[in-house]
């Protein structure tokens, strides 16, 4: 029996050969330098914030270069695949506005000319490639049972030998086609292994766009390429898919870095040009001084739902991720107030080699800057959406008089240095509650308040139509009546006066809001209006 006949025995019903597929999926017609990359998740039911980082990195590079960003579903590990997994992935990415030029669009549908984009639907294609490899003596059926492979591993561990099927462990590597055919006809279970031409004692150089040129021992493992269920392994599927989809850049997690020599070898053995690889380091966390990987089990911030529930805008999370991808992003963002993330030119060279700390406090800072750049309308609308889901009670108050709420949100906004106190939608209530009578039921701390002075001021001097200057000058002038002077004067002769203008403002602020710190007092008083101010003073007196 020839190898060709053996290949026919293993794959008797293959309709097409590699050439057919290469013609079906021709070179893409893109402009020079365009990056074709993909996000290739497994639909296991959980999107880790690190997945969003990988996806967003690919998205950004493709977008920067007017390239292609495709969604490929890697579901060949059927045991880990969950129901609705594809929909969940797409929903999570959409939340972050990460969209695709082609690929899966839901559980059943997809768009693009290079599909199917779901690996379990590509079985025939993989088989065509594997068949050819068997014909060429570059792959072979391996009859080692799982138990035998485990025994080999145990033996290797015991003898501190390298783990895997290579050299003397590759028992079926040199079976003749006849010997293999007898076993197959006897229904002995088998998988297909790649027949590695490598030697562990030779070194190979592999390029990584993030880490530069790395040296590895050449791969000599006969890795499985097709499992018992007829589906390919990740190693092989990525080779076929990225070849046929004309991927130029593989951006993936660095857990795959050690497989790089295998992957480069696979491309070489098939005679294909390998894509460029960029391995992204995991997100880290400083856990009481110990830096470790962000863990799905321990850290709630791993789940993308965390940001949604906390009310942190996905745009702010993206700004932070952009900073993680390229550390010079942040400075650029701070300097370019009117630019969007997509205006920034990302570079592989500036991607961190060692993994970046994912720090919620830092995210909070970036988010506050993000909020500070929103208009009152934007904050109003976005907060409203958040409240609709998470705080129906406050939603009623918040939306009762939209113009009033927007005016509150606008305090200290339209100025050179806008307020930076909102970091998440859930902060909004905590920052503006006292502006709503429905919410204003304060417990006042003990404090010395000159009630006679405040009553006189609010009833006889305060005019809600005054502009800010007039308002302030009036307080200064009024203060003299009660022996309050300017701050400067007071500092020079404190024994001569009861206090200074600032003290009056502080008392006003306290009675009106029950707080000692708020944004601009003039604006607050102006928005509340004289009548409500007097009411609040009366309430204060009664307490
Ligand atoms: N399915 C692989 C994973 O989720 C994809 C790796 C890659 O992007 O090639 O790790």
pLDDT, one tens digit per residue, over 483-531 is 999 999 999 999 999 999 999 999 999 999 999 999 999 999 999 999 9
Torsion, Cα 492 494 497 503, to 10 degrees, reads 100
**Could you tell me if the CB of 252 is within 6 A of ligand 1?**
yes
pLDDT reading at 218 higher than 90? yes
Q: What percent of the chain is predicted at pLDDT more than 70?
A: 100
Residue 86 has pLDDT above 90, yes or no: yes
- Contact between 177 and 5 under an 8 Å Cβ cutoff? The reply is yes
Q: Return the sign of the alpha-carbon dihedral for residues 532, 535, 537, 540.
A: negative
Question: Is the CB of residue 40 below 6 angstroms from any atom belonging to ligand 1?
Answer: yes
pLDDT of residue 407: 98
CA distance 117 to 136: 28
CA of 38 to the centre of ligand 1 (A): 10
Which of 44, 53, 55, 74 most suits a substitution to test ligand 1, by most atoms within 8 Å of the C-beta? 74
First to last CA, the chain: 100
Ordered DSSP codes for 437-482? TTT----PPP----HHHHHHIIIII--TT--HHHHHHHHHHHHHHT
* Residue 272 dihedral angles phi and psi, to the nearest 5°: -105, 155
- In this structure, which residue's CA is closest to atom 10 in ligand 1? 41
Domains and CATH numbers, the chain: 3-12+123-280 (3.40.50.620), 284-372 (1.10.1160.10), 376-427 (no CATH), 451-542 (1.10.10.350)
Triad 116, 122, 127: Cα angle to 5°: 150
Residue 416's pLDDT band, with cuts at 50, 70 and 90, is confident
pLDDT band at 473 (very low <50, low <70, confident <90, very high): very high
pTM recorded for the entire structure: 0.89
Which ligand 1 atom lies nearest to the CA of residue 242? 9
User: Which phi and psi angles does 292 have, rounded to 5°?
Assistant: -145, 170
Ligand 1 pocket check for 41: Cβ under 6 Å: yes
Considering only CA atoms, which residue is closest to atom 4 of ligand 1? 41
CB atoms within 10 A of CB 13: 7
Mean of per-residue pLDDT scores for the chain:
96
CA 266 – CA 271 distance, rounded (Å): 9
Predicted confidence band at 352 (pLDDT cuts at 50, 70, 90)?
A: confident
pLDDT in tens, 335-350: 998 899 999 999 999 9
Q: How far is the CA of 118 from the centre of ligand 1 (A)?
A: 13
Q: In this predicted model, what pLDDT tens digit does every residue of 119-172 receive, in sequence order?
A: 999 999 999 999 999 999 999 999 999 999 999 999 999 999 999 999 999 999
According to the model, what pLDDT value does residue 45 have? 86
Q: Per-residue DSSP letters for 438-449? A: TT----PPP---
Query: Is the predicted pLDDT of residue 353 greater than 90, yes or no?
Result: no
Q: Residue 433: pLDDT above 90?
A: yes
């Amino acid at each position: 029996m020839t190898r060709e006949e053996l290949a026919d025995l293993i794959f008797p019903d293959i309709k097409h050969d590699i050439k057919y597929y290469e013609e079906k999926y021709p070179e893409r017609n893109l402009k020079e330098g365009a990056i074709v990359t993909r996000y290739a998740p497994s639909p296991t039911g959980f999107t880790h914030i690190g997945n969003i980082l990988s996806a967003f990195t690919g998205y950004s590079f493709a977008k920067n270069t007017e390239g292609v960003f495709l969604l490929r579903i890697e579901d060949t590990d059927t045991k880990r695949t969950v129901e609705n997994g594809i929909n969940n992935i797409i929903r999570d990415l959409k939340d972050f506005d990460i969209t695709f030029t082609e690929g899966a669009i839901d559980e059943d549908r997809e768009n693009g000319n290079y599909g199917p984009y779901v690996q379990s639907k590509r079985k025939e294609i993989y088989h065509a490639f594997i068949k050819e490899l068997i014909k060429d003596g570059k792959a072979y059926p391996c009859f080692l049972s799982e138990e035998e492979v485990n025994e080999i591993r145990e033996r290797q561990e015991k003898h501190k030998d390298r783990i895997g099927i290579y050299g003397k462990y590759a028992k079926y590597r040199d079976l003749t086609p006849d010997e293999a055919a007898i076993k197959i006809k006897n229904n002995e279970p088998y998988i297909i292994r790649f027949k590695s031409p490598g030697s562990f004692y030779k070194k190979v150089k592999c390029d990584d766009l993030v880490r530069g040129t790395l040296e590895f021992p050449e791969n000599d493992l006969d890795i499985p390429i097709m499992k018992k269920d007829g589906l390919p392994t990740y190693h092989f599927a990525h080779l076929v898919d990225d070849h046929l989809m004309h991927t130029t850049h593989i951006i993936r997690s660095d857990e795959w870095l050690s497989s790089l020599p295998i992957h480069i070898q696979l491309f070489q053995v098939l005679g294909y040009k390998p894509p460029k690889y960029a391995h992204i380091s995991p997100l880290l966390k400083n856990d009481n001084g110990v830096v470790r990987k962000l863990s799905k089990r321990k850290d709630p911030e791993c789940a993308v739902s965390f940001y949604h529930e906390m009310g942190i805008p996905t745009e702010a999370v993206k700004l932070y991720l952009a900073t993680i991808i390229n550390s010079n992003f942040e400075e650029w963002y701070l300097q370019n107030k009117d630019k969007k993330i997509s205006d920034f030119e990302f570079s592989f060279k500036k991607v961190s080699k060692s993994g970046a700390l994912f720090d919620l406090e830092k995210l909070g800072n970036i988010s506050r800057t993000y909020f500070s750049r929103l208009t009152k309308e934007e904050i109003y609308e976005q907060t409203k959406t958040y409240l609709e889901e998470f705080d129906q009670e406050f939603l009623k108050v918040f939306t009762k008089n939209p113009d009033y709420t927007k005016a509150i949100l606008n305090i200290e906004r339209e100025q050179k240095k806008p307020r930076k106190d909102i970091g998440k939608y859930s902060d909004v209530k905590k920052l503006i509650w006292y502006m709503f009578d429905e919410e204003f039921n304060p417990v006042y701390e003990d404090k010395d308040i000159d009630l006679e002075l405040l009553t006189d001021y609010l009833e006889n001097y305060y005019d809600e139509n005054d502009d800010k200057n007039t308002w302030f000058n009036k307080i200064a002038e009024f203060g003299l009546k009660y022996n309050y002077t300017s701050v400067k004067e007071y500092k020079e002769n404190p024994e001569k006066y009861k206090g200074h203008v600032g003290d009056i403002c502080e008392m006003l602020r306290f009675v009106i809001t029950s707080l000692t710190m708020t944004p601009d007092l003039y604006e607050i008083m102006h928005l509340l209006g004289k009548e409500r101010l007097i009411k609040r003073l009366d309430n204060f007196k009664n307490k």
